[in-house]
Amino acid sequence: MPLSRRIQRALPNGLSIALVGLVMLILFGPVILLALFSFNDSTVISLPWEGFTTRWYTEAINDDGAMHAIWNSVMVASVVTVASLILGTLASWGLTRIKFRGRPLVAGIHGAVLVVPWLIIGVAGLIFFSQIEMALSLNTIILMHIVVTFPLVVAVVSAGLIRFNPSLEEAAIDMGASQFQMMRYVVMPQIAPSLAAAAIFAFAWSFNNFEISFFTGGFEQTFPVWVYGVLRHSSNLPVVNAASTVIAAAQVLLVFGLWYGMKLMTRKRGGSDREAAEMITGAVR
Amino acid sequence: MGVPTASVPTVTGERPSRFSKLLKPFAFMSLPTAVLVLLFLVPMGILVYFSFQYGDLTGQAGFTFSNFTDILGDELYRRIALTTFEIATIAMIAQLIVGIPLAYVLAYKAGRFELPLLLALVLADELNPMVRIYAWRMLLGREGLINDALTSIGLIDAPIDALLFNKFSVIVVLSTSYLTYTVIPIYASMKAVDSGLFEAARDMGAGWFTTFRRVLLPLIAPGIFIALLLVYVPLFTDFAAPTLVGGTTGYMLGNVVSDLVLENGNLNAGAAMSFLMLLAAALFSLVAYQLSRVKQGAK
């Protein structure tokens, strides 16, 4: 991107590199250290290095609390992802391609969910379930996760649909495609990368969600709630280390897997990396 | 936010019948809207209702303003609100000081590293927030790695206690948790700026600071306001970070809500506090939204 040399001089390359390096160090340094120390053969997480061990991983696997919490989180996040994709795709098609009365209002409610803090939604959920006398469990966590997560899918998929010219859909219908064929062969390939991005974001939102799970889970613990509980009482720390490392590694793999998949998909249909980047930023906008 | 309201022509082979005109929106929108009404609007309504009720052991007994007057009249809550404001504001400013230059580097200077860096930011956000809090606790603690390292190289004699369980540690944890959501909207608004403007500013003799303040800043203002909306509001309600690294001086409003609801079981007071925070958030969002529109209009 061509830029005034004066502006470029204002922030020399050395400074840019230093800034980026510092930010990356602050964002990832602590987690990388945590991963390293999960292999340290000591019950306290500090120097000196006592030697390499995998015993904390063995202990984590045998820790019922940890395994149960991770399993709960994976299950909740999977259900939430599937439900959010279905609801989100329906709504984003409805909101971008169909005109109906009250559309701005409905779109507004979808947007409102995304700006209400999760703490408040969690408290509201707790009171709501106590009023309808529904016992708090994984089910109530799932319900509340779905309602905060599917509007995110709507945001991502709508961004994809808006970029994509509806006249192609009209052309397909004009040339005799059925509604189903049009969806299957014209729309799906276009929004597939958006759907993939939305799926990853939805899974991460649900998996990482602490506030809502904490308030609406009752005695059931998801992974973040379990870590919170252990940290509050400061026991079992090396086990938390090991479990956290496994989770962090899985998340890194997932994000890179998605990235690679999206790159393949956009390349295949002649798109550019630029589009893939927009898909990512689109989720946050 | 990302939910579009622009009108896009509908896909129709021929003129739609009255029936399909009603049926189509219903087919797509009924389920999502029902979920939103049932699990978002209704619970929020009940929350507001509860905040105006006083409860006894048998349930909700009647209408009252006392939940609000109790909260607003309480000296302790006022102090906590002030602490919360202080922590959230410092964390927000710290993120903007780092985030704006970082977005600038990403948008204009990173070249082929632009996408990998963007991905790294997304990854930073996807990492579990609880894991991040834990990692910082391990670094900053009395027997943490920073104190360890400093004592072992002889820079300090005794471990520094001031690193953990105070406002500072809460600010560090919160700033690093939300940085992605600060940088990406600003980055996105920078990508939309026509770089020819910088040339023009230079030709007219503007220095880099003038160019930044008079040209770039007004153009990226909408992005900054979106960042405020996405980050500043949630910062006020966070309670995991203050509980785990805040000690006694880092107690925030989110902790108040959590303690009222879960420790004391006082749903009415918790609902009232939540409602007040929601009002403040709504007011702030409205102002931020209006400001971002004014700025956009002024370009």
Domain annotation covers residue B243: yes
Residue A211: its chain B contacts at CB < 8 A? 237, 239-240
State the CATH number of the domain containing residue B221.
1.10.3720.10
Which of B3-7, B233-237, B248-252 has the lowest average pLDDT?
Answer: B3-7
- How many Cα atoms sit within 13 Å of B89 on the Cβ side? 6
- Nearest-Cα distance to chain B for A3, in Å, is 6
B47 and B180 share a domain?
A: no
B49 and B86 share a domain?
A: no
Kindly tell me if the per-residue pLDDT of B130 is higher than 60.
yes
B128 and B59 share a domain?
A: no
| Residues B141 and B173 sit within 8 Å (Cβ to Cβ) | no
Higher pLDDT, A268 or A10: A268
Q: What pLDDT shows up at residue B299?
A: 39
B32 and B148 share a domain?
A: no
Domain annotation covers residue B70: no
Domain annotation covers residue B171: yes
Instruction: Read off the tokens for B192.
Output: 């939309």
B35 and B127 share a domain?
A: no
Place of tokens 């390293």: A36
B82 and B228 share a domain?
A: yes
B83 and B112 share a domain?
A: yes
What number is the ipTM of this complex?
A: 0.84
Q: B198–A7: do the CB atoms touch at under 8 Å?
A: yes
Domain annotation covers residue B4: no
CA distances from residue B170 to A97, A212, B64, B84 in whole angstroms, order as listed = 45, 21, 36, 10
> Rounded distance, CA B267 to CA B59, Å?
11
Domain annotation covers residue B12: no
B82 and B44 share a domain?
A: no
Domain annotation covers residue B3: no
User: How much of chain B exceeds pLDDT 90, in percent?
Assistant: 24
- How many Cα atoms sit within 13 Å of A98 on the Cβ side? 23
Q: What pLDDT, in 10s, does the model give residues A15-55?
A: 888 899 999 999 998 889 888 888 887 776 666 677 788 88
Rg (CA), chain B: 24
What integer best gives the mean pLDDT of chain B? 82
The 3-state secondary structure of B98-139, one letter per residue = HHHHHHHHHHHHCHHHHHHHHHHHHHHHHCCHHHHHHHHHHH
Kindly tell me if the per-residue pLDDT of B215 is higher than 70.
yes
Q: CA nearest A118: which of A224, A264, A19?
A: A224
Chain A (248-277) residues lying within 8 Å, Cβ to Cβ, of chain B: 248, 251-252, 254-256, 259, 273, 276-277
Instruction: Please report which helix (H) or strand (E) contains residue B142, including its range.
Output: none
Q: What pLDDT shows up at residue A187?
A: 82
| Residues B92 and B154 sit within 8 Å (Cβ to Cβ) | no
Range of B134's domain? 75-298
Q: Cβ neighbours of residue B278 under 8 Å, at least 6 residues apart?
A: A116, A117, A120, B44
B146 and B59 share a domain?
A: no
Residue of A nearest to B236 (CA): A117
Q: What pLDDT, in 10s, does the model give residues B17-73?
A: 666 667 777 788 889 999 999 999 999 999 999 899 887 655 667 788 888 888 888
Kindly tell me if the per-residue pLDDT of A195 is higher than 70.
yes
How many other β-carbons are positioned within 10 Å of the β-carbon of residue B21? 16
Q: A96–B176: do the CB atoms touch at under 8 Å?
A: no
B178 and B120 share a domain?
A: yes
Domain annotation covers residue B10: no
> Rounded distance, CA A241 to CA B63, Å?
49
> Rounded distance, CA B41 to CA A254, Å?
33
Mutate to test the interface with A, among B50, B109, B277 (most CBs of A within 10 A): B109
CA distances from residue A96 to A69, A196, A199, A246, B182 in whole angstroms, order as listed = 38, 19, 19, 40, 27
Q: Which fold has domain A55-284?
A: MetI-like fold (1.10.3720)
Grouping H, G, I as helix, E, B as strand and the rest as coil, residue A52 is: strand
Q: What pLDDT shows up at residue B4?
A: 46
Q: CA nearest A60: which of A215, A241, A217?
A: A241
B204 and B134 share a domain?
A: yes
Residue of A nearest to B215 (CA): A7
Mutate to test the interface with B, among A7, A49, A219 (most CBs of B within 10 A): A7
Domain annotation covers residue B2: no
Domain ranges, ordered by start, for chain A: 55-284
B202 and B160 share a domain?
A: yes
Q: B128–A223: do the CB atoms touch at under 8 Å?
A: yes
How many structural domains are present in chain B?
2
The mean per-residue pLDDT over the stretch A203-223 comes to 92
